[in-house]
C-alpha cells in the first residue's frame, strides 16, 4: 500500500507538472537584466523577449535592476518563485565572475539558477577616446608607460568583463591604469565619449555605433577571433598582446528548482528565436553573434567559465570596489 501511494503521488506530480507546462505561460513573464537600459545585456534581452512574447502568447517584459556587476538583478531571480514567471538574462559577469570577485554573494551561483539556454556571444573591444594619439595597441602601451599619471579606463562595474579585461591588459603589458567603475555601460560610455576617461574594454554592441561614427577609435578585439561586425580590426594577439582573451556570453536562466517541463518549453522557443532571420538581423546590427546552447551544455559552459575566471581573478588581484 505504501509503495502504491508513493507511485500514485509521483504520477500525480508528473501529471500536474505536465498540465502546468501545457498552460505555461498563462500570465506575463518578467525577464530581469542586471544592467541599465541601452547596454548589451538589455538589448539582447529585448530581442529574446520580443520573440518569446510572439511565440508563447504572453508578454515577456524586460525589467532592469542594475548594479554590483549584475548581481542585484541575479539576486532578485535567485529569490523568485521557481514557476517560470521570473527569468534572468544572465551574463558572464553575474554568473561566473561574481563568485570569485565578491567576498560574499546573497546567493549560491552554483545552485540558485537553472540554465535554460545560451543566446549569444559578444566580442569585447578595446576603444580609446580620439584625444588619445594611438592608432595601434602598441602605441597605446607606449603612451601609457610614458604618462606622468595612470591613464583611466572605464568599466560598467567592478567584476564585469570590461573591468577584468583592463586588469589583464595592464598586467600583461606592465603598465599601470586607473580603474573607474560605473553603474552600467551607458554611464561609462558617456564619460568616455566626453574624454573624462581615456579608454575602455567593452562589449561591441555598446561601442559599435560610436566606432562607426568616429567618436571612438577601436584598437583591437580581445578575443580569439575577429568580430564579424569589424572584420578589419585585429585581435589583441594579432596586435602583439597575447594572453588577453576575454569575451561575453549571454543566456537565459530560471530560478533553481524550476521544472524540467518549463525549462524545456523555454529552451525550445529560444532556439527558434535565435534562429529567426529578424532576430539574427537585430543581433548582427548590434555586433552580437547568435550562439544557442540547450540547458545541459549551457550549464557545462557556466561551470567551465566559473573555474577560468576564478583563476584569472586570482592572477590579477581584481576586487569589487
> Which of these ranges, 50-59, 98-107, 117-126, 131-140, has the smallest mean pLDDT?
98-107
pLDDT at 73: 96
Q: Report which secondary-structure segment, H or E, holds 131.
A: none
pLDDT at 22: 67
**Whole-angstrom distance, CA of residue 130 vs CA of residue 227:** 21
The residues that bridge with 252 in the sheet, in sequence order, are 89, 117
For residue 13, name the pLDDT band (cuts at 50, 70, 90).
very low
Going from the N-terminus, what domains does the chain have, and what CATH number goes with each?
Answer: 28-121+247-316 (3.40.190.150), 123-221 (3.40.190.10)
| Strand pairing report for 113-128 and 289-293 | antiparallel
Both ends of the chain: CA-CA distance in Å? 60
Average pLDDT over residues 223-249: 91
Q: Are 227 and 233 within 8 A, CB to CB?
A: yes
Residue with cell 535592476: 65
The tens digit of pLDDT for each residue in 151-163 reads 999 998 777 788 8
38 versus 226: the higher-pLDDT residue is: 226
Q: Are 35 and 185 within 8 A, CB to CB?
A: yes
In the chain, the percentage of residues whose pLDDT exceeds 70 is: 93
Average pLDDT over residues 57-81: 95
The tens digit of pLDDT for each residue in 168-193 reads 999 899 999 999 998 878 899 999 99
Phi and psi at 214, nearest 5°, equal 90, 5
Average pLDDT over all residues of the chain: 90
b/e burial code for range 95-115 (CB count within 10 A of at least 16 → b): bbbbbbbbeebebebeebbbb
Cα dist from 34 to 41, 64, 275, 295, 318, whole Å? 8, 6, 25, 21, 20
185 versus 265: the higher-pLDDT residue is: 265
Given a cut of 90, whether residue 232 has pLDDT beyond it is yes
The tens digit of pLDDT for each residue in 137-155 reads 999 999 999 999 999 999 9
pLDDT at 69: 80
Q: Which of 45-54, 178-187, 202-211 has the highest mean pLDDT?
A: 45-54
Residue 258's CB: how many other CB atoms inside 10 A? 22
Amino acid at each position: 500500500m505504501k509503495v502504491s501511494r508513493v507511485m500514485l503521488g509521483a504520477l500525480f506530480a508528473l501529471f500536474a507538472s505536465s498540465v502546468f507546462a501545457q498552460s505555461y505561460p498563462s500570465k506575463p513573464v518578467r525577464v530581469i537584466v542586471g544592467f541599465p537600459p541601452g547596454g548589451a545585456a538589455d538589448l539582447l534581452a529585448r530581442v529574446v523577449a520580443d520573440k518569446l512574447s510572439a511565440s508563447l502568447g504572453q508578454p515577456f517584459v524586460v525589467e532592469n535592476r542594475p548594479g554590483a556587476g549584475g548581481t542585484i538583478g541575479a539576486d532578485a531571480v535567485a529569490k523568485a518563485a521557481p514557476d517560470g514567471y521570473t527569468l534572468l538574462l544572465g551574463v558572464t559577469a553575474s554568473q561566473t565572475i561574481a563568485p570569485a570577485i565578491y567576498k560574499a554573494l546573497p546567493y549560491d551561483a552554483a545552485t540558485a539558477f537553472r540554465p535554460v539556454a545560451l543566446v549569444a556571444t559578444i566580442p569585447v573591444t578595446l576603444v580609446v577616446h580620439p584625444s588619445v594619439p594611438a592608432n595601434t595597441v602598441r602605441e597605446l602601451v607606449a603612451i601609457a608607460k610614458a604618462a606622468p599619471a595612470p591613464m583611466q579606463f572605464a568599466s560598467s562595474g567592478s567584476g564585469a568583463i570590461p573591468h577584468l579585461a583592463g586588469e589583464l591588459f595592464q598586467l600583461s603589458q606592465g603598465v599601470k591604469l586607473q580603474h573607474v567603475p560605473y553603474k552600467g555601460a551607458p554611464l561609462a560610455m558617456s564619460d568616455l565619449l566626453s574624454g573624462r576617461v581615456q579608454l575602455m574594454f567593452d562589449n561591441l554592441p555598446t561601442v559599435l555605433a560610436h566606432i562607426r561614427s568616429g567618436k571612438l577609435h577601436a584598437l583591437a578585439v580581445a578575443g580569439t577571433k575577429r568580430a564579424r561586425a569589424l572584420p578589419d580590426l585585429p585581435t589583441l594577439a594579432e596586435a602583439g598582446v597575447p594572453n588577453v582573451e576575454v569575451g561575453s556570453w549571454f543566456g537565459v536562466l530560471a530560478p533553481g528548482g524550476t521544472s524540467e517541463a518549463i525549462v524545456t518549453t523555454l529552451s525550445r522557443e529560444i532556439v527558434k528565436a535565435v534562429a529567426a532571420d529578424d532576430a539574427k538581423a537585430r543581433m548582427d546590427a548590434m555586433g552580437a553573434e547568435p550562439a544557442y546552447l540547450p540547458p545541459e551544455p549551457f550549464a557545462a559552459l557556466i561551470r567551465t567559465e566559473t573555474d577560468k575566471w576564478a583563476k584569472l581573478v586570482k592572477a590579477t588581484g581584481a576586487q569589487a570596489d
